[in-house]
């Protein structure tokens, strides 16, 4: 897989405030990466730099080997800014046609492309509406449609589901999932849980610093089980589970919840062994799920 985004020691200041501090990360083709962090962490600033709207103060950044904003990236990289707006005077179709024309399409090809991307986001029937006549969710979907015009290889989406109800947010995630076979994405969000299923890579930004990077590949070396017990986990339970072959670590997340990390090469039936151990001791459990939530992955080391 080839590298599509490369950031090295990226720094950005606004006046005396350092907003991005020594950021280094890479994205490979096919990655669907989540950029997560609290308000003011620097997500939009990073997106602005990747789009070529803002310049870093130091460090290097390249997309497909080119500087952000360079003409070589024209049509290759698309972005949905956080507060994307439509002009109230024109229909959605007219504005998407215009974006298609900006990408060099003929008027006819631009119209075809508009129809294609509006169908993708389920807005074919609203093509002739003006933005004011659409709901917030529809406007967001129309803005996402704009990012799909042409054949971009990398799409940067700044909070694509912000302000959407759960059904609309789910539709957007399903759309990204459907399209992610041929396209790489970087998606910023506050919502760890919604990106959990979607992304194979997570960048966690806090106060301008990259605090964690996790990838799906990290999950292959060690496997996790999250166990929710009926009763508070006692020293007795943890002592018994600690004896199981293949166990790497055992963490008590909450009173009744344990996260077991194990090596599947040493014990491929580890989950079965956990159940047998519980049954043999008469300990009841509510839930045993494979894997570790993204929240656990991000915050367990903090």
Ligand X SMILES: Nc1ncnc2c1ncn2[C@@H]1O[C@H](COP(=O)(O)OP(=O)(O)OP(=O)(O)O)[C@@H](O)[C@H]1O
In the bound state with ligand X, the residue whose beta carbon lies nearer, of 147 and 250, is 147
Please say whether the beta carbons of 12 and 33 come within 8 A. Answer: no
**Applying CB under 6 A, does 278 fall inside the site for ligand X?**
no
Residue 5 CB, nearest approach to ligand X (Å): 17
Provide the strand spans (E) within the chain: 3-14, 17-28, 32-36, 58-63, 77-80, 154-158, 184-189, 201-206, 209-215, 223-229, 247-254, 257-262, 285-290
In the bound state with ligand X, the residue whose beta carbon lies nearer, of 144 and 259, is 144
**Applying CB under 6 A, does 80 fall inside the site for ligand X?**
no
In the bound state with ligand X, the residue whose beta carbon lies nearer, of 61 and 274, is 61
In the bound state with ligand X, the residue whose beta carbon lies nearer, of 27 and 49, is 49
Residue 55 CB, nearest approach to ligand X (Å): 12
Which value, to the nearest 10 degrees, does the dihedral of the CA atoms of residues 86, 91, 92, 94 take? Answer: -100
**Applying CB under 6 A, does 23 fall inside the site for ligand X?**
no
Instruction: List, in sequence order, the alpha helices (H) in 208-269.
Output: 216-221, 235-242
Residue 38 CB, nearest approach to ligand X (Å): 7
4, 19, 77, 80: which one binds ligand X (CB under 6 A): 19
Angle between helices 136-147 and 107-120 (to 10 degrees): 130
* Spatial CB neighbours of 295, under 8 Å, sequence gap ≥ 6: 192, 193
Residue 215 CB, nearest approach to ligand X (Å): 21
Beta strands at 201-206 and 58-63: parallel, antiparallel or unpaired: unpaired
Q: How far apart are the first and last CA of the chain?
A: 31
* Spatial CB neighbours of 274, under 8 Å, sequence gap ≥ 6: 225, 227, 241, 244, 260, 288
In the bound state with ligand X, the residue whose beta carbon lies nearer, of 42 and 150, is 42
> What count of residues does the chain have?
302
**Applying CB under 6 A, does 193 fall inside the site for ligand X?**
no
Centre a 10 Å sphere on the Cβ of residue 146 and count the other Cβ atoms it contains: 23
Residue 44 CB, nearest approach to ligand X (Å): 3
In the bound state with ligand X, the residue whose beta carbon lies nearer, of 47 and 185, is 47
Angle at 257 between CA 252 and CA 259, to 5 degrees: 60
Using the rule CB under 6 A, give the single segment among 35-43, 103-111, 163-171, 232-240 that binds ligand X: 35-43
Residue 15 CB, nearest approach to ligand X (Å): 6
Site for ligand X in 37-56 (CB under 6 A): 37, 39-45
**Applying CB under 6 A, does 189 fall inside the site for ligand X?**
no
Please say whether the beta carbons of 50 and 80 come within 8 A. Answer: no
Site for ligand X in 110-169 (CB under 6 A): none
In the bound state with ligand X, the residue whose beta carbon lies nearer, of 101 and 211, is 211
Residue 21 CB, nearest approach to ligand X (Å): 11
In the bound state with ligand X, the residue whose beta carbon lies nearer, of 43 and 250, is 43
Burial class, 8, CB count within 10 angstroms (exposed 0-12 / middle 13-18 / buried 19+): middle
Number of residues located near ligand X, criterion CB under 6 A: 10
Residue identified by tokens 């589970």 is 241
Residue 19 CB, nearest approach to ligand X (Å): 4
Using the rule CB under 6 A, give the single segment among 33-41, 111-119, 140-148, 178-186 that binds ligand X: 33-41
Please say whether the beta carbons of 131 and 87 come within 8 A. Answer: yes
Contact residues toward ligand X (CB under 6 A) are 14, 19, 37, 39-45
């Amino acid at each position: 897989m080839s590298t599509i985004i490369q950031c090295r020691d990226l720094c950005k200041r606004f006046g005396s405030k350092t907003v991005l501090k020594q950021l280094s990360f890479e994205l490979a083709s096919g990655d669907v990466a989540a950029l997560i962090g609290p308000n003011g962490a620097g997500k939009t600033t990073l997106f602005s730099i990747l789009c070529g709207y803002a310049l870093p103060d130091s460090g290097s950044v390249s997309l497909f080997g080119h500087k952000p904003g360079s003409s070589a990236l024209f049509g290759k990289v698309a972005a949905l800014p956080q507060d994307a707006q439509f002009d109230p005077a024109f229909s959605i179709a007219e504005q998407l046609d215009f974006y298609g024309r900006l990408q060099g399409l003929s008027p006819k090809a631009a119209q075809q492309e508009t129809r294609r991307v509006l169908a993708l986001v389920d807005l074919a029937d609203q093509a002739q509406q003006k933005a004011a006549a659409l709901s917030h969710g529809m406007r967001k979907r129309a803005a996402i449609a704009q990012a799909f015009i042409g054949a971009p290889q990398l799409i940067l989406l700044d909070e694509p589901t912000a302000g959407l109800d759960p059904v609309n947010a789910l539709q957007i995630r399903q759309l990204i999932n459907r399209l992610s076979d041929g396209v790489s994405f970087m998606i910023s969000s506050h919502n760890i849980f919604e990106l959990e299923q979607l992304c194979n890579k997570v960048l966690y930004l806090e106060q301008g610093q990259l605090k964690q990077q996790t990838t799906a590949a990290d999950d292959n070396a060690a496997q996790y089980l999250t166990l929710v017990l009926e009763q508070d986990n006692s020293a007795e339970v943890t002592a018994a589970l600690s004896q199981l072959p293949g166990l790497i670590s055992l963490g008590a997340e909450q009173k009744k919840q344990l996260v077991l990390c194990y090596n599947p090469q040493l014990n491929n039936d580890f989950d079965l062994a956990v159940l047998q151990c519980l049954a043999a001791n008469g300990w009841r459990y509510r839930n045993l799920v494979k894997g570790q939530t993204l929240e656990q992955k991000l915050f367990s080391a903090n």
